[in-house]
Structure formats: C-alpha cells, structure tokens
Structure 1
Amino acid sequence: MRSYLVICALALACFAATAVARTMNRCSLAREMSKLGVPRDQLARWACIAQHESSYRTGVVGPANSNGSNDYGIFQINNYYWCAPPSGRFSYNECGLSCNALLTDDITKSVRCAQKVLSQQGWSAWSTWKYCKGSLPSINDCF
C-alpha cells in the first residue's frame, strides 16, 4: 500500500508539473512576443532559438551543464547567471527572478529575461545561435 501511495504521489507531481507548461509553435510564440513589444525584426530569431533550445516548450529544465548549472524555460536561460534556482544554489540572478518563473504558461518573464541576456551578451549567448544566425524564413505569415 505504501508503494502504491508513493507511485500515486509521483504521478500526481508529474501531472502537476506538465499542467503548468505548454508547447507553443513558431507563430504562437511570434504573436505573443509581438504583443509584449518585441521588435518584429527579431521574432524569427527568437522563434529559431526557442525551436532549437526547447522545441517551443515552456516547462523544460535542461540537463546539468559542465559547471553544474541548468537552463530553464522556452529560451533555456541559465540559472548561474540569470535566475535563482530552486535548490538555493548561488546565482548572480541578473533577471531578479526565480528560475521556476521561467517554466510557466505565461512567457512574459522568460521574454523579459531573454531580452536582458540579449542586451548584455548578444545572440551568441545561446549555443544554438549557429542554427539561427543566417537568413531565416519570414515570420510575417504568422500575422
């Protein structure tokens, strides 16, 4: 009976974790980012990064990096520099938020933090930039 309760609790925890995350697509991401004031000429790049970093999934926590840090959310923002990890481990927390705030359906905090990363480090802050730095398909068909 005890193992049954543990299994039920784990299943419920997994369901709860996936209930607050969603999978977007290129156009839904572009439209939401546009509503948040992101310049239209950047949207194709952001969509490309989200595609390669998280497959447009908001609830992704990446595997541990070589320094033990993790990357969070649709843009895979690193917890050593940009957000406070739930573990309480040291972070510079340049975005001033919990990493869990980057895992929700509402992408506002992810977008704002990603914009801060971009302003401080440029597009090459994302390891997937190599897929996104050339000519990209227009995002105009999303509007």
Structure 2
Amino acid sequence: MKAFAFLLFAVALAAPAFGEVLNRCSLAREMSRLGVPRDQLARWACIAEHESSYRTDVVGPTNYNGSNDYGLFQINDYYWCQPADGRFSYNQCHIDCNGLLTNNIEPIVRCAQEVLRMQGWSAWSTWHYCDGYVPSIDDCF
C-alpha cells in the first residue's frame, strides 16, 4: 500500500500542470476585475464557451495555413502571438503563444482586446453564436 501511495505521489509530481477550466461567471468576474467593460462580458463569455469551452490550455488543430489558435479565446499565432517553433508571426500582441495558455488570464484578455480593437468581434469564427441574444452575466455579480 505504501508503494502504491508513493507511486501516485511521484506521478502527481511528474504530471504536467493542466490549464484552468473557467465558467461563464468566473470569466465574467475576472474580466470585470481587469477593467473590461461590463456590456462586453456576456459576448466574451460566449466566445470563450464556443472557442475553448472556457479552458485556458487549448491549442487548436493546425489551420489551413499552418497556423494554430491558442488559449481561452483561440488567438491565432500568425497574427497575434509568436509560436515557440520560431515560425513567422506578426505578433501584434507582443507575446509568446505559450503566454496565452496560462491560468493568469490578464495577458490573454489584453491580447483578445487588441484583436477586438483591430478586427472587431467577427475575428472569431464562432462569432455567429454570439451575435444575437447571449445569456446575461448579471447573475454572476
């Protein structure tokens, strides 16, 4: 029994850290704390739900152009972040793509806000799910 307990402990230490899974309200509260306008929070929650299921550690499958999408809002590495393999990127957010996979969502939110500022909501392919009625986040506060 002691050997089994030790083995479980050793595996737990060796296991990689998994990303955080947020939910609509935890995301809305955290984004509000970071200064995101309240009237945008329900849309951001909708995008995160459809892009990553509120997971911070998601790297999407390779796109047709060889790029990948990272994190909570599936931000594309060709335009917004620098991939670890050194591929060309415009890196408009001035961040390594792995910085979009952290449980600290501040850099993720700042980059997503830059995407919104430069390209609008339609930058996200899942926007059509979030362009009409979205559930209120009022019950989160």
Task: Give the TM-score taking structure 2 as reference length.
Answer: 0.90
Q: In the alignment, which residue of structure 2 is the partner of 1:16? A: 16
Aligned identity (percent) is: 70
Q: Establish whether residue 56 from structure 1 lines up as the match of residue 54 from structure 2.
A: yes
TM-fit CA distance, 1:17: 4.2
CA distance in 2, matches of 1:93, 1:71: 13
Structure ID, larger Rg = 2
CA distance in 2, matches of 1:136, 1:64: 29
Q: In the alignment, which residue of structure 2 is the partner of 1:83? A: 81
CA distance in 1, matches of 2:85, 2:26: 32
Q: Aligned-pair RMSD on alpha carbons?
A: 1.5
TM-fit CA distance, 1:104: 0.6
- Aligned counterparts, 1:1-143, within 5 A: 12=14, 15-18=15-18, 21-143=19-141
Matched letter for residue 40 of structure 2? Q
| Residue correspondences, number | 131
Question: 5+ unaligned residues in a row in structure 2: which ranges?
Answer: 1-9
Question: 5+ unaligned residues in a row in structure 1: which ranges?
Answer: 1-7
**Moved >6 Å (runs of 4+):** none
Q: In the alignment, which residue of structure 2 is the partner of 1:3? A: none
TM-fit CA distance, 1:22: 0.5
TM-fit CA distance, 1:125: 0.2
Matched letter for residue 31 of structure 1? R
> What do the CA deviations read for 1:109-135 (whole angstroms, capped 9, x no partner)?
000000000000000000000100001
